[in-house]
Amino acid sequence: MSTKQVIMVGFTLFAMFFGAGNLIFPPALGFGSGEYFWTAMIAFVLTGVGLPLLGVIVGSISKDGYKESLKNIHPAFAVLFLVAIYLTIGPFFAIPRTATTAYEMAIVPFLSENTGIWLLIFSLVYFIVVLLLSLKPGTLVNSIGQVLTPLLLIGIVLLIVVAGVAYFSNSINPASETFQQTSPFTIGFTEGYLTMDAIAAIAFSVLVLNSIRQLGITNRRDLLVGTIKSALLAAVLLGAIYISLGWLANRVDLGGALVDDQNLGTFLLTYMSSDVFGIFGPILLGVIVLLACLTTGTGLIVSVSEYFNSILPKVPYKVWVILFVLISFGLANQGLDQVIATSIPILSIIYPIAMTTVLLLIVTYFVPSPRLALQIPVYLVTALSILSVVHRNGWLELNFLESLPLFSYSFEWIPFMIVGYIAGYLIGLKKPRVEYS
């Protein structure tokens, strides 16, 4: 791929991940982490940027992406896992989050009182527009998205530069009382789950492959190299923005302003834009975020509906659209903080499975391994992730889990992945090796 082509695909990938919803997490982490900022933020970037980068690259191993490569674990697992991925980045969490983020940043700053009725009215109008756009997907959403993503990026970069100069000499905010100072790395690492980008990468990877193929590149090695270069560019851009927003929040002086019942990340972004640009700051930021969330929400409805229509073609595409819009509307009315809180247990189950799957796929690509070397660790990590979430949330006491290595860091799945791979490799030593077409 030429440099121009790498830049073009890299910016396309960046636009996929650069959702307005993701912008709320780095400021919140930067503000709360205080003097532990760099440890927490580096960990956040690992899961919020590094894992999506790796996920997109691994998706290029097979010509049909994860749909094909996941079958090496088991065809049923491939379907079930992808269904879980699409529901997570779709109607269960990501789509409702686009509505609640847009509400928090575009509407709440201008309300005298934030009540549930305003969220209900806003989300009703929001999802009616999403429904109308999704029923007839065409070039409109893509065209708007191509305009809004650069506008959002320009607005955020301006905020970073101007606020960076203004806050440069400010002292670091102390770590919040709720921040667990004994494990800043773990907090940052698990906060990165909330971006959902690592699991979104599994769904987006096929789009990246198709974009590169449209450039006339069909050789598998060239596809892999092109994907790596493009993904690296997108990762650098995302990492720079996340760290910069976190750094600003780490030094912002709120002057006694209270967050009240607004989400901390949206409050900080709105406050900083007002602090830097005056009254026009939150207005401009709110409008851009609203439109960006609208196009992101529509794009996700279309993607998820098309996927489910492909595996259950007897159910028409429009029926899937209506169903997922209704689910998203209902969940959005929990409010942004509740949507995020509800997603944490599910993401805590899915992320270890996704990380295990991605790591094993890349290992078995370079080290020919029997199918059991994929199956045993994935099944072990799946069971362990479910049990760990059940215990950590107090739904059932499973105290024996706390004696597992790395449990206190939320990395107890790593030894099981390694031991499972070795056991599967040895047990299946005389069996055929996994091949990627």
pLDDT tens-digit map of 358-384: 899 888 888 889 999 999 999 999 999
Q: What is the pTM of this model?
A: 0.83
pLDDT tens-digit map of 149-163: 777 788 888 889 999
What's the pLDDT at 202? 83
Classify domain 3-343 by CATH architecture. Orthogonal Bundle (1.10)
What's the pLDDT at 138? 59
Domain boundaries, the chain: 3-343
Phi-psi region of 431 (alpha: psi -120 to 50; beta: other; left: phi over 0): beta
Separation between Cα atoms, residue 294 and residue 133, nearest integer Å: 10
What's the pLDDT at 131? 92
Write the DSSP string, 8-58: HHHHHHHHHH--GGGGGHHHHHHHHHGGGHHHHHHHHHIIIIIHHHHHHHH
| Residues of the chain under the 70 pLDDT cut | 63-64, 137-146, 148, 181, 218-220, 258-261, 437
Give CA separation, 103 vs 99, 148, 269, 277, 302, in Å: 6, 17, 14, 21, 21
Would you call 99 helix, strand, or coil by DSSP?
Answer: helix
What's the pLDDT at 281? 86
pLDDT tens-digit map of 331-353: 999 888 888 888 888 988 998 99
Give CA separation, 382 vs 114, 218, 355, in Å: 40, 35, 11
Phi-psi region of 136 (alpha: psi -120 to 50; beta: other; left: phi over 0): beta
